[in-house]
Amino acid sequence: MPHDHSDHPHSLLPPDPALRVKALETILSRKGLIDPAALDAIIDTYENKIGPRNGAHVVARAWLDADFKAALLKDATPVVAELGYYGRQGEHMVAVENTDAVHNLVVCTLCSCYPWPLLGIPPTWYKSDAYRARVVREPRAVLSDFGVTLPENTAVRVWDSTAEVRYLVIPQRPAGSEGLDESGLMALITRDSMIGTGLAVSP
């Protein structure tokens, strides 16, 4: 070997990231350690089946049904599991509600923890150094990157996901949405509003 790779064997792989993935996939597949069809099924799950519409369904239900919302805020995991939303990276769910007094915002400063069964794969910005570094120290500046300005008397509470607990923000229900049914409300609930970097859309 030209030099010692013992600490970081990954440096043996090709430099181009696409080729690096291909090399790993080929090695593992030829060793019988991965089933290429299983990879396609995993990708299909997160590309087409599990995403933020799941979370929007939960939030719309919470807006429409006070008992559902109370149960969700008390112990979210069984409540969302009842709707079919449970699984990897959503084993311990906590829902937090935005009000005039408190605006909640979720991050994982140490890696990229995120409630997959409710929101899918995290967006690139959620995993970025800028978001991870800045949002705990200057949440209002980060909100302005998203075009969101909060009233001075609304406190910001940033949740840093340091354990296996995953947080879902219940955004405030917008004025003018009174007559809407569940699917009408779901259209107002953006992914970002359930992370706390956005607000629900006004109808």
Task: Establish if 139 lies at the interface with another protein (CB under 8 A).
Answer: yes
Q: Closest Cα partner for 117 from 80, 93, 164, 85? A: 85
Q: Which of 111, 128, 144, 183 is catalytic?
A: 111
Catalytic annotation on 11?
Answer: no
* Other CB atoms within 10 A of residue 162 CB: 12
Q: Closest Cα partner for 195 from 92, 91, 110, 125? A: 125
Instruction: Specify the residue, 153 or 202, whose C-beta has the smaller distance to another protein.
Output: 153
Q: Closest Cα partner for 199 from 135, 130, 103, 63? A: 103
Task: Establish if 174 lies at the interface with another protein (CB under 8 A).
Answer: no
Q: Which of 74, 133, 176, 201 binds another protein (CB under 8 A)?
A: 133
Instruction: Specify the residue, 152 or 178, whose C-beta has the smaller distance to another protein.
Output: 152
Q: How far is the CB of 178 from another protein (least distance, A)?
A: 25
Q: How far is CA 179 from CA 44, 159, 184, in A?
A: 35, 32, 9
Q: Tokens for 173, please give them.
A: 């229900």
Q: Which of 156, 177, 187, 203 binds another protein (CB under 8 A)?
A: 156
Please choose, out of 32-40, 66-74, 170-178, 180-188, the segment that lies near another protein by the rule CB under 8 A. Answer: 32-40
Catalytic annotation on 161?
Answer: no
Instruction: Specify the residue, 87 or 176, whose C-beta has the smaller distance to another protein.
Output: 87
Task: Establish if 82 lies at the interface with another protein (CB under 8 A).
Answer: no
Give the SS3 label for residue 116: helix
Q: How far is the CB of 3 from another protein (least distance, A)?
A: 12
Site of tokens 């690096």: 20
Catalytic annotation on 202?
Answer: no
Instruction: For residue 112, give the amino acid letter.
Output: S
Q: Is there a contact between 114 and 143 (Cβ–Cβ < 8 Å)?
A: no
Q: How far is the CB of 12 from another protein (least distance, A)?
A: 4
Which run of H or of E encompasses 97? strand 92-97
Site of tokens 């509003």: 193
Count of positions on this chain that bind another protein (CB under 8 A): 91
Catalytic annotation on 128?
Answer: no
Active site residues: 108, 111-113
